[in-house]
Amino acid sequence: MMPTNNANPTSPTLVVQYATAADPLPTIAELTTWAAAALAPELFAHELTIRVIDEEESAMLNAQYRGREGATNVLSFPFEALPGLPEDCQILGDLAICAPLVATEAAEQGKSWTAHWAHLVIHGVLHLQGYDHLQPADAERMEHLETDLLHHLGFPPPYEHSASPVQ
């Protein structure tokens, strides 16, 4: 299923693909709210796809694109225009979020399921906009931004009591 939310010009154009039997899953409205919180307003016209996946697909994508074994919680794929496509295509990129792993991590870290989903969507959207956490200073900047965005949404700081940081 590929629902799209683009009826509200103050929210991003979001395509959601549910490719897992995991339950419960966030609604399109929740995903849109969380993505919008992290997205620069000038990018709202850009399309963003969130694919909610299972551990098997996550492990395959993680191996193929990161050279790492096993499933991971969130993968981000910023859009890169192929030859022949206009440079100004309004596509931000794709996120792949492993629903079973999100549920497991939330339980292990003593977080609400919703707070962890919100954190991973925000984390992924920031990656699509060029943020990273490879260097300590970049990680600190990104973590502070995530914490501020989640606070504005009513969620607690994501890195307190965290046994498994976002990868």
Per-residue pLDDT tens listing for the chain (167 residues): 444 444 445 678 899 999 999 999 999 999 999 999 999 888 888 899 999 999 999 999 999 999 999 999 999 999 987 888 777 788 899 999 999 999 999 999 999 999 999 999 999 999 999 999 989 999 999 999 999 999 999 999 998 754 444 55
**What pLDDT was estimated at residue 3?**
44
Count other C-beta atoms under 10 Å from residue 132's C-beta. Answer: 12
Query: Which class is 4-152 in CATH?
Result: alpha beta
Q: What is the DSSP string of 73-141?
A: SEEEEE--PPTTS-TT--EEEEEEEEHHHHHHHHHHTT--HHHHHHHHHHHHHHHHTT---SSHHHHHH
Secondary structure (DSSP) of 138-157: HHHHHHHHHHHHHHHTTPPP
CB 95 within 8 A of CB 61: no
**Contact by Cβ (8 Å): 46, 92:** yes
Q: What is residue 68's predicted lDDT score, i.e. its pLDDT?
A: 97
Chain centroid to CA 136: how far? 21
Read off the pTM: 0.88
So what's the pLDDT on residue 161? 56
Distance in angstroms (rounded) separating the CA atoms of residues 131 and 79: 14
